[in-house]
Amino acid sequence: MLHRLSLITLFIGGLAAGAAQASTPDVAARKDLTLALGNQLAEATLSACHAQDRSAVVAVVDRSGRLMALQRDDNVGPHNTLAAQRKAFTALSTKTPTSELARRAQGDPSSANLNTLDELLLLGGGVPVVVEGQVVGALGVAGAGGSSIDEGCAQSAIEQLIQPNN
């Protein structure tokens, strides 16, 4: 019996130590998208495009830039899949809508150099997902008929699912 109580005490002590470590200032606590929310964002984005009689592909990346969800309508050109992924990565990486980056690159020679990075795509349709002031992921949309339409579909999904909770 004493042995069992010692094990229980050790277990509870270990839990308390784990809780103390979780609040250690040198350990980052960050919000991130869940797969469930990533899929909801992808579905809401395509729904927003469909409401305008548009087809598209949407890519969702988590806070580290890794692809977590991808949905593509039928008959969308194959190049749009990579474009959506790059738009999402660009928005996440720069914490800026890609349409804004495109505008900056046109008007500022130092920003134009961003076009030389293969991973980035300075074309509207990428939007960061912000929760409580933190960029937790991004959406990239391509193939809906123009970068402003692509971005509008993504922004609509974010407004529907994220901003009411922010």
- More confidently predicted of 105 and 36: 36
Q: 20-73 pLDDT, tens per residue?
A: 455 678 888 888 999 999 999 999 999 999 999 999 999 999 999 999 999 999
Q: What is the pLDDT of residue 22?
A: 56
Statement: residue 8 has pLDDT above 80: no
Other Cβ atoms closer than 10 A to 161: 16
Band the pLDDT of 105: cuts 50, 70, 90: confident
Q: What is the DSSP letter of 27?
A: S
* 29 sits in which H/E element: none
- CA 124 centroid distance within chain: 15
Q: What is the pLDDT of residue 44?
A: 97
